[in-house]
């Protein structure tokens, strides 16, 4: 029995067997070979294997999802058979006398760069595909995994780190929990784990990763962050009973469904859910969310290999609005950049991505991308009660530009005879200190504010939320952050506007009373936190 610990991200326990996810690309080293022809034969064998895997995935996807979804794997097979791609690998092996893995990695990089720099958006999107196929090829060469949690049976995934796009692609029916050696508890990976209700521990350290192997029995305590490899019988029993306790607590909370979210002295507080895709809509409804306070629309883009079209976006937004049946749905416009990178956007890498080209900054410089999303949002607005929210606002002029883009989308739709609702509310996220400080200027321009405490904390305390080493310096209850929220609440109310909180701090019930005292009207949290928050609100007396 061996104990480790990391940051627990949700109050849930899992006990099961481990699958270690070894990432192939990124760990490739260059070695010199005296037999280049042998390396070429290795690539050929790996290519056959990769094509075999892809053919199987193609058949499965075709059976389960249809031709449209399956064709991407057909394209991947074609790319693996592409003459130029294979010639480049062989040339590098022969001329530089290097190992096959390195030649694939170098080819991947130059082909991905070439695709990303193309003007045609379809071709730009192929950068992601070339990375995908190269990663699979390297995995086949070195016996690493190309898919997270591939295989059968329930499992606990242990990995060095997971990107948000990898986390969303986890098969929730198979993955009981996941543990990462690196990463921080405020990252989008942690946020997604909370939403999915999967027990997870982040930042368990390198030693944990080197101590664990496939098939090991592991206890993951998502509450305390404890990890126990090969537990003895007594320990496993104790955690089993903890797991049952938390199931019982969940069942008790279910009794709150349908009851109003109202304080003891009668103040009604809207409790909404944060979702990252239509897949989480059921969880929001099952947990009795009064609305959607934050739909992170960028996950539509992250889950796609190319820009989602207006029709694809419309279908997704419509589904959420119809699913919520007239309750408020706040959809945030695209917020990529920083930890959420999408190859087909062809963004340059930046030395300081948290302070870089992200969110509304991308939308305002890529008007065609922004317009497609706004048109889809307005067209969806006839199916429910929609709020559109703009992230990473820092200035009056950014808000003006966002509002002008909305007007332009509306007038286009009008001219084309496409219906939309005039009742759409427009709001901004208060997630930069600048926005909070000038919230008196911003409040008259919009219908609502929503405080993004994750970024507001990062930017106020100057602590990169992706950097696990900074966690000891991040005081999530820091007075500076709380004062900025209070200031924004005061300015919102001075102008008769509503203010909510949709960052992770909204779920921190030790702050609920303080937030309500500041006048916060709405709290939006991951679906599993809706009922615990309702319990907290119903226990508060503000009089």
**Does residue 129 touch ligand PEP according to CB under 6 A?**
no
Of all residues in the chain, what percent are helix, strand and coil, respectively (each to 5)? 50, 15, 35
Considering the complex, state which of residue 308 and residue 452 has its C-beta at the smaller distance from ligand PEP: 452
Distance CA(427)–CA(330), nearest Å, equals 9
- Residue 144 vs 470, nearer CB to ligand PEP: 470
Distance, in Å, from the CA atom of 80 to the CA atom of 413, rounded to the nearest integer, reads 42
Q: Which element (helix H / strand E) includes 84?
A: helix 83-96
CA distances from 354 to 31, 360, 452, 453, 465 (A): 35, 13, 14, 15, 8
| Residue 124 or 524 with smaller CB distance to ligand PEP | 524
Helix H or strand E segment including 87: helix 83-96
Is 452 among the residues that bind ligand PEP (CB under 6 A)? yes
Within 434-473, the residues that bind Mg ion by CB under 5 A are: 452, 455
Taking the complex as a whole, the smallest distance from the CB of residue 375 to Mg ion amounts, in Å, to 24
**Nearest distance from residue 247's CB to ligand PEP, in Å?**
28
- Rounded Cα–Cα distance for residues 467 and 520 (Å): 29
Structure tokens at 137: 């090829």
DSSP assignments along 230-287, one per residue:
S--HHHHHHHHHHHHHHHHHHHHHHTTTTS--B-TTS-B-EEEEEESSGGGHHHHHHT
The residues with which 449 forms a beta bridge, in sequence order, are: 428, 499
Binding string, residues 400-439; x marks residues near Mg ion by CB under 5 A: -------------------------------x--------
Q: How many residues bind Mg ion (CB under 5 A)?
A: 3
CA distance 328 to 64: 33
Sole binder of ligand PEP in the list 431, 508, 521, 522 (CB under 6 A): 431
Residue 454 interacts with ligand PEP (CB under 6 A): yes or no: yes
By CB under 6 A, is residue 296 in contact with ligand PEP?
yes
Instruction: In angstroms, give the least distance from the CB of 543 to ligand PEP.
Output: 30
Q: Which of 76, 108, 158, 188 is flagged as catalytic? A: 188
User: Could you tell me whether strands 217-221 and 522-525 are parallel, antiparallel, or unpaired per DSSP bridges?
Assistant: unpaired
Cα gap 171→84, rounded to integer Å: 35
Distance CA 263, CA 520 (A): 13
Residue 161 interacting with Mg ion (CB under 5 A) = no
Residue closest to Mg ion when measured from CB atoms = 455
From the list 78-86, 405-413, 448-456, 514-522, the region that binds ligand PEP by CB under 6 A is: 448-456
CA distance 421 to 388: 12
Closer to ligand PEP at the Cβ: 85 or 459?
459
Query: Going by DSSP bridges, is the β-strand pair 385-390/425-430 parallel, antiparallel, or unpaired?
Result: parallel
Which residue from 61, 453, 476, 498 is in contact with ligand PEP, where contact means CB under 6 A? 453
In the bound state with ligand PEP, the residue whose beta carbon lies nearer, of 177 and 456, is 456
Residue 48 CB, nearest approach to ligand PEP (Å): 42
Instruction: Quote the least distance from Cβ 502 to ligand PEP, whole Å.
Output: 5
List the single partner that 502 binds among ligand PEP, Mg ion, none, CB under 5 to 8 Å by kind: ligand PEP
Q: Which residue has the tokens 């606990």?
A: 156
522 binds, among ligand PEP, Mg ion, none (CB under 5 to 8 A by kind): none
Which of 222, 376, 209 has the alpha carbon at shortest distance from 301? 376
- Binders of ligand PEP among residues 481 to 520 (CB under 6 A) are 502-503
Question: Which range touches ligand PEP (CB under 6 A), out of 201-209, 374-382, 402-410, 451-459?
Answer: 451-459
What is the Cα–Cα distance from 488 to 501, expressed in whole angstroms?
Answer: 11
Give the nearer residue to ligand PEP in terms of CB position, either 73 or 299: 299
Q: Is the distance from CB of 43 to CB of 101 less than 8 angstroms?
A: no
76 sits near ligand PEP (criterion: CB under 6 A)? no
Please state, in angstroms and rounded to a whole number, the distance separating the CA atoms of residues 208 and 227.
9
Query: Which range of residues in 155-163, 221-229, 235-243, 447-455 is near ligand PEP by CB under 6 A?
Result: 447-455
Of the CA atoms within 13 Å of residue 264, those in its CB half-sphere come to 7
With binding defined as CB under 6 A, does residue 460 bind ligand PEP? no
- Report the distance separating Cα 53 and Cα 42, nearest Å: 17
188 is catalytic: yes
Binding site for Mg ion (CB under 5 A): 431, 452, 455
Give catalytic residue positions.
Answer: 188, 502
List interacting residues with ligand PEP (CB under 6 A). 191, 294, 296, 335, 431, 452-455, 502-503
């Amino acid at each position: 029995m061996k104990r480790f610990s990391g940051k627990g991200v949700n109050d849930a326990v899992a006990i099961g067997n481990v699958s270690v996810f070894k990432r192939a690309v990124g760990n490739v080293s260059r070695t010199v070979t005296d037999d280049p022809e042998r390396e070429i034969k290795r690539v050929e064998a790996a290519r056959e294997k990769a094509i075999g895997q892809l053919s199987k995935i193609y058949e499965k996807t075709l059976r389960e999802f249809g031709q449209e979804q399956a064709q991407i794997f057909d394209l991947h097979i074609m790319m693996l058979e592409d003459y130029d791609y294979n010639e480049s690998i062989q040339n590098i092996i022969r001329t530089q006398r290097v190992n096959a893995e390195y030649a694939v990695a170098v080819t991947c990089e130059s082909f991905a760069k070439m695709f990303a720099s193309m003007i045609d958006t379809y071709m730009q999107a192929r950068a992601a595909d070339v990375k995908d196929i190269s990663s699979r090829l390297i995995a086949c060469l070195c016996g690493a995994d190309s898919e997270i949690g591939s295989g059968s049976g329930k499992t606990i995934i242990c990995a060095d780190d997971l990107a948000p796009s990898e986390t969303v692609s986890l098969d929730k029916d198979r993955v009981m929990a996941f543990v990462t050696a690196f990463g921080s508890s405020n990252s989008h990976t942690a946020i997604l784990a909370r939403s999915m209700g999967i027990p997870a521990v982040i930042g368990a350290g390198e030693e944990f990763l080197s101590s664990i192997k496939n098939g090991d029995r592991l206890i993951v305590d998502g509450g305390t962050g404890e990890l126990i490899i090969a537990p003895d019988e007594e320990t496993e029993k104790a955690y089993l009973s903890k797991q049952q306790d938390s199931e019982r607590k969940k069942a008790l909370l279910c009794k709150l469904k349908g009851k109003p979210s109202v304080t003891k002295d009668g103040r009604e507080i809207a409790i909404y859910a944060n979702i990252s895709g239509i897949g989480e809509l059921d969880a929001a409804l099952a947990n009795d969310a009064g609305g959607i306070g934050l739909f992170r629309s960028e996950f539509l883009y992250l889950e796609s290999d190319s820009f989602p079209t207006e029709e694809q976006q419309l279908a997704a937004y419509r589904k959420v609005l119809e699913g919520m049946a007239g309750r408020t749905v706040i959809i945030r416009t695209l917020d990529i950049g920083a930890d959420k990178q999408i190859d087909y956007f062809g963004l340059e890498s930046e030395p300081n991505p948290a302070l870089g080209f992200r969110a509304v900054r991308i939308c305002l410089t890529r008007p065609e991308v922004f317009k497609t999303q706004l048109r889809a949002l307005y067209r969806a607005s006839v199916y429910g009660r929609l709020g559109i929210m703009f992230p990473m606002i820092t200035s009056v002029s950014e808000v003006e530009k966002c509002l002008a883009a909305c007007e332009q989308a509306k007038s286009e739709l009008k001219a084309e005879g496409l219906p939309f609702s005039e009742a759409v509310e427009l709001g901004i996220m208060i997630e930069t200190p600048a926005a909070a400080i000038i919230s008196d200027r911003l409040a008259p321009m919009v219908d609502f504010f929503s405080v993004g405490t994750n970024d507001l904390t990062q930017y106020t305390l100057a602590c990169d939320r992706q950097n696990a080493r900074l966690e000891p310096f991040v005081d999530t209850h820091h007075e500076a952050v709380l004062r900025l929220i209070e200031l924004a609440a005061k300015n919102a109310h001075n102008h008769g506007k509503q203010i909510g909180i949709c960052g992770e701090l909204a779920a921190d019930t030790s702050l609920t009373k303080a937030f309500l005292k500041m006048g916060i009207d709405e709290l939006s949290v991951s679906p599993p936190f809706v009922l615990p928050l309702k319990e907290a609100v119903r226990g508060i007396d503000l009089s």
